[in-house]
Structure 1
Amino acid sequence: MLITEVKSALIFQDKLKKDQKAEAIKKVPGLLEIAAFTFLYSGTFVGPQFTLAKFRSFVDGAWLDEKKQPKQSAINASLRRFLGGAAFLILNLVGTAWIPNSYFNTPEYYVSGTSIILSVFLLGKFSKRS
Protein backbone atom coordinates (compact mmCIF):
# COMPACT_ATOMS: atom_id res chain seq x y z
CA MET A 1 0.00 0.00 0.00
CA LEU A 2 2.83 2.37 0.81
CA ILE A 3 4.43 1.90 -2.59
CA THR A 4 1.16 2.68 -4.37
CA GLU A 5 0.78 5.85 -2.31
CA VAL A 6 4.28 6.96 -3.25
CA LYS A 7 3.78 6.10 -6.92
CA SER A 8 0.42 7.81 -7.22
CA ALA A 9 1.67 10.91 -5.41
CA LEU A 10 4.78 11.25 -7.56
CA ILE A 11 3.47 10.17 -10.97
CA PHE A 12 -0.27 10.86 -11.05
CA GLN A 13 -0.30 14.16 -9.14
CA ASP A 14 -2.63 15.87 -11.64
CA LYS A 15 -5.20 13.04 -11.57
CA LEU A 16 -5.60 12.85 -7.78
CA LYS A 17 -8.79 13.90 -6.02
CA LYS A 18 -8.81 16.62 -3.36
CA ASP A 19 -8.60 14.24 -0.39
CA GLN A 20 -5.91 12.18 -2.12
CA LYS A 21 -3.82 15.31 -2.70
CA ALA A 22 -4.03 16.13 1.01
CA GLU A 23 -2.71 12.66 1.92
CA ALA A 24 -0.21 12.47 -0.94
CA ILE A 25 3.42 11.73 -0.10
CA LYS A 26 5.56 14.62 -1.23
CA LYS A 27 8.87 13.19 0.01
CA VAL A 28 9.87 9.54 -0.43
CA PRO A 29 10.31 7.88 3.00
CA GLY A 30 13.63 6.39 4.07
CA LEU A 31 14.14 2.87 5.41
CA LEU A 32 13.97 3.97 9.05
CA GLU A 33 10.70 5.83 8.48
CA ILE A 34 9.22 2.85 6.61
CA ALA A 35 10.20 0.55 9.49
CA ALA A 36 8.71 2.93 12.07
CA PHE A 37 5.49 3.24 10.05
CA THR A 38 5.21 -0.51 9.45
CA PHE A 39 6.01 -1.71 12.95
CA LEU A 40 4.10 0.94 14.90
CA TYR A 41 2.38 -0.59 17.93
CA SER A 42 -1.19 -0.18 16.66
CA GLY A 43 -0.48 -1.78 13.30
CA THR A 44 1.90 -4.60 14.20
CA PHE A 45 -0.53 -7.48 13.73
CA VAL A 46 -2.93 -6.09 11.13
CA GLY A 47 -0.81 -3.58 9.25
CA PRO A 48 -1.00 0.20 9.11
CA GLN A 49 -4.45 1.60 9.79
CA PHE A 50 -3.74 5.10 8.53
CA THR A 51 -1.70 6.81 5.85
CA LEU A 52 1.94 7.81 5.99
CA ALA A 53 0.91 11.47 5.91
CA LYS A 54 -1.08 11.04 9.14
CA PHE A 55 1.82 9.11 10.68
CA ARG A 56 4.21 11.93 9.78
CA SER A 57 1.89 14.56 11.27
CA PHE A 58 1.65 12.48 14.45
CA VAL A 59 5.45 12.16 14.70
CA ASP A 60 5.91 15.89 14.00
CA GLY A 61 3.51 16.76 16.83
CA ALA A 62 0.77 18.31 14.70
CA TRP A 63 -1.83 16.63 16.92
CA LEU A 64 -0.61 18.49 20.01
CA ASP A 65 -1.70 21.92 21.19
CA GLU A 66 0.61 24.85 21.94
CA LYS A 67 1.44 23.39 25.39
CA LYS A 68 2.60 20.13 23.74
CA GLN A 69 -0.37 18.27 25.25
CA PRO A 70 -2.95 16.18 23.36
CA LYS A 71 -5.84 18.32 22.08
CA GLN A 72 -8.44 16.08 23.69
CA SER A 73 -8.40 13.38 26.31
CA ALA A 74 -8.54 9.72 25.31
CA ILE A 75 -10.24 8.67 28.54
CA ASN A 76 -13.78 8.77 27.10
CA ALA A 77 -12.82 6.82 23.98
CA SER A 78 -10.92 4.18 25.94
CA LEU A 79 -13.74 3.87 28.49
CA ARG A 80 -16.29 3.32 25.68
CA ARG A 81 -14.03 0.72 24.07
CA PHE A 82 -13.60 -1.07 27.41
CA LEU A 83 -17.36 -1.08 28.08
CA GLY A 84 -18.03 -2.40 24.58
CA GLY A 85 -15.53 -5.21 25.10
CA ALA A 86 -16.99 -6.04 28.51
CA ALA A 87 -20.52 -6.12 27.03
CA PHE A 88 -19.33 -8.45 24.28
CA LEU A 89 -17.66 -10.69 26.85
CA ILE A 90 -20.84 -10.92 28.92
CA LEU A 91 -22.99 -11.60 25.83
CA ASN A 92 -20.55 -14.29 24.73
CA LEU A 93 -20.61 -15.99 28.14
CA VAL A 94 -24.41 -15.87 28.34
CA GLY A 95 -24.71 -17.05 24.74
CA THR A 96 -22.46 -20.06 25.22
CA ALA A 97 -24.39 -21.00 28.36
CA TRP A 98 -27.63 -20.82 26.36
CA ILE A 99 -26.29 -22.46 23.15
CA PRO A 100 -23.17 -24.58 23.78
CA ASN A 101 -20.32 -24.55 21.27
CA SER A 102 -20.82 -28.26 20.57
CA TYR A 103 -24.18 -27.45 18.93
CA PHE A 104 -22.39 -25.88 15.97
CA ASN A 105 -20.90 -29.27 15.04
CA THR A 106 -24.20 -31.18 14.98
CA PRO A 107 -26.02 -32.23 11.80
CA GLU A 108 -29.11 -30.27 12.91
CA TYR A 109 -27.14 -27.03 12.79
CA TYR A 110 -25.84 -27.71 9.28
CA VAL A 111 -29.31 -28.64 8.02
CA SER A 112 -30.85 -25.50 9.51
CA GLY A 113 -28.09 -23.40 7.98
CA THR A 114 -28.73 -24.94 4.57
CA SER A 115 -32.44 -24.20 4.79
CA ILE A 116 -31.74 -20.58 5.71
CA ILE A 117 -29.41 -20.16 2.74
CA LEU A 118 -31.95 -21.83 0.45
CA SER A 119 -34.76 -19.57 1.70
CA VAL A 120 -32.63 -16.45 1.12
CA PHE A 121 -31.91 -17.64 -2.43
CA LEU A 122 -35.56 -18.38 -3.14
CA LEU A 123 -36.69 -15.09 -1.63
CA GLY A 124 -34.36 -13.24 -3.95
CA LYS A 125 -35.36 -15.31 -6.96
CA PHE A 126 -39.13 -15.07 -6.62
CA SER A 127 -39.51 -11.60 -5.12
CA LYS A 128 -41.09 -8.84 -7.18
CA ARG A 129 -38.61 -6.56 -8.82
CA SER A 130 -39.59 -2.98 -9.50
Structure 2
Amino acid sequence: MKKSVLVALLVVALLGASLAPQAHAQGWETLVAALVPRIIGLWRRGDIQILGHACTYRVRPRIRRWRLYYRGRVTCPGWTSITGSAQTRSRSKVVNETVTDFLNKAVSAGLITKSEARSWLQ
Protein backbone atom coordinates (compact mmCIF):
# COMPACT_ATOMS: atom_id res chain seq x y z
CA MET A 1 0.00 0.00 0.00
CA LYS A 2 1.38 3.40 -0.89
CA LYS A 3 2.20 6.02 1.69
CA SER A 4 -0.30 8.39 0.10
CA VAL A 5 -3.14 5.94 0.71
CA LEU A 6 -2.14 5.47 4.34
CA VAL A 7 -1.83 9.22 4.84
CA ALA A 8 -5.25 9.75 3.25
CA LEU A 9 -6.79 7.16 5.58
CA LEU A 10 -5.15 8.82 8.55
CA VAL A 11 -6.43 12.25 7.50
CA VAL A 12 -9.97 10.89 7.12
CA ALA A 13 -9.77 9.28 10.56
CA LEU A 14 -8.50 12.50 12.12
CA LEU A 15 -11.24 14.54 10.41
CA GLY A 16 -13.85 12.07 11.58
CA ALA A 17 -12.49 12.29 15.11
CA SER A 18 -12.66 16.07 15.09
CA LEU A 19 -16.27 16.08 13.81
CA ALA A 20 -17.54 13.42 16.23
CA PRO A 21 -19.19 14.43 19.52
CA GLN A 22 -16.71 14.95 22.35
CA ALA A 23 -17.62 11.72 24.16
CA HIS A 24 -16.78 9.63 21.07
CA ALA A 25 -13.81 11.72 19.96
CA GLN A 26 -11.69 10.50 22.85
CA GLY A 27 -12.08 6.92 21.61
CA TRP A 28 -10.98 7.92 18.09
CA GLU A 29 -8.02 9.86 19.42
CA THR A 30 -6.92 6.86 21.46
CA LEU A 31 -7.33 4.55 18.48
CA VAL A 32 -5.43 6.85 16.12
CA ALA A 33 -2.67 7.41 18.69
CA ALA A 34 -2.26 3.63 19.02
CA LEU A 35 -2.33 2.88 15.27
CA VAL A 36 -0.10 5.63 13.87
CA PRO A 37 3.21 4.34 15.36
CA ARG A 38 2.43 0.81 14.18
CA ILE A 39 1.66 1.94 10.63
CA ILE A 40 4.74 4.17 10.45
CA GLY A 41 6.87 1.33 11.87
CA LEU A 42 6.19 -0.77 8.78
CA TRP A 43 8.75 1.33 6.88
CA ARG A 44 12.41 0.95 7.85
CA ARG A 45 15.65 2.41 6.59
CA GLY A 46 19.15 1.91 7.91
CA ASP A 47 22.84 1.36 7.36
CA ILE A 48 24.66 -1.96 7.25
CA GLN A 49 28.28 -3.02 6.72
CA ILE A 50 28.76 -5.70 4.06
CA LEU A 51 32.31 -7.01 3.74
CA GLY A 52 33.69 -3.74 5.09
CA HIS A 53 31.64 -1.51 2.78
CA ALA A 54 28.98 0.95 3.90
CA CYS A 55 25.59 0.00 2.51
CA THR A 56 22.00 1.06 3.10
CA TYR A 57 18.82 -0.94 3.26
CA ARG A 58 15.19 0.03 2.87
CA VAL A 59 12.09 -1.95 3.82
CA ARG A 60 8.61 -1.03 2.60
CA PRO A 61 5.29 -2.75 3.20
CA ARG A 62 3.18 -3.97 0.32
CA ILE A 63 -0.28 -5.45 0.32
CA ARG A 64 -0.83 -8.13 -2.27
CA ARG A 65 -4.03 -10.17 -2.43
CA TRP A 66 -5.03 -8.90 1.01
CA ARG A 67 -1.76 -10.09 2.59
CA LEU A 68 1.01 -7.93 3.99
CA TYR A 69 4.44 -8.40 2.42
CA TYR A 70 7.71 -6.60 3.03
CA ARG A 71 9.88 -5.54 0.13
CA GLY A 72 13.55 -4.92 0.87
CA ARG A 73 16.34 -3.27 -1.06
CA VAL A 74 20.10 -3.04 -0.37
CA THR A 75 22.54 -0.76 -2.17
CA CYS A 76 26.21 -0.01 -1.64
CA PRO A 77 26.72 3.27 -3.56
CA GLY A 78 30.42 3.71 -2.82
CA TRP A 79 31.26 0.17 -3.82
CA THR A 80 29.06 -1.10 -6.66
CA SER A 81 25.85 -0.43 -8.56
CA ILE A 82 24.44 -3.87 -7.72
CA THR A 83 21.10 -3.77 -5.94
CA GLY A 84 19.84 -6.62 -3.80
CA SER A 85 16.10 -7.07 -3.44
CA ALA A 86 13.67 -9.48 -1.84
CA GLN A 87 10.04 -9.75 -0.84
CA THR A 88 8.87 -11.85 2.10
CA ARG A 89 5.98 -12.05 4.52
CA SER A 90 8.41 -11.76 7.45
CA ARG A 91 9.43 -8.29 8.59
CA SER A 92 12.46 -9.62 10.44
CA LYS A 93 13.64 -11.84 7.56
CA VAL A 94 13.40 -9.39 4.67
CA VAL A 95 16.77 -7.67 5.31
CA ASN A 96 18.60 -11.02 5.47
CA GLU A 97 16.98 -12.19 2.24
CA THR A 98 17.85 -8.88 0.58
CA VAL A 99 21.51 -9.08 1.61
CA THR A 100 21.65 -12.70 0.42
CA ASP A 101 20.33 -11.61 -2.98
CA PHE A 102 22.90 -8.80 -3.08
CA LEU A 103 25.76 -11.19 -2.28
CA ASN A 104 24.59 -13.73 -4.88
CA LYS A 105 24.52 -10.99 -7.53
CA ALA A 106 27.98 -9.78 -6.42
CA VAL A 107 29.36 -13.34 -6.78
CA SER A 108 27.77 -13.66 -10.24
CA ALA A 109 29.34 -10.35 -11.28
CA GLY A 110 32.77 -11.50 -10.06
CA LEU A 111 32.97 -8.75 -7.44
CA ILE A 112 33.48 -11.18 -4.56
CA THR A 113 34.18 -14.88 -4.20
CA LYS A 114 31.77 -17.54 -2.99
CA SER A 115 33.85 -18.10 0.12
CA GLU A 116 33.67 -14.39 1.04
CA ALA A 117 29.91 -14.42 0.60
CA ARG A 118 29.55 -17.67 2.55
CA SER A 119 31.68 -16.39 5.43
CA TRP A 120 29.61 -13.20 5.66
CA LEU A 121 26.32 -15.09 5.64
CA GLN A 122 27.33 -17.34 8.53
TM range (shorter): under 0.3
Whose helix fraction is larger, Structure 1's or Structure 2's?
1
Greater relative contact order (Cα < 8 A, sep 6+): 2
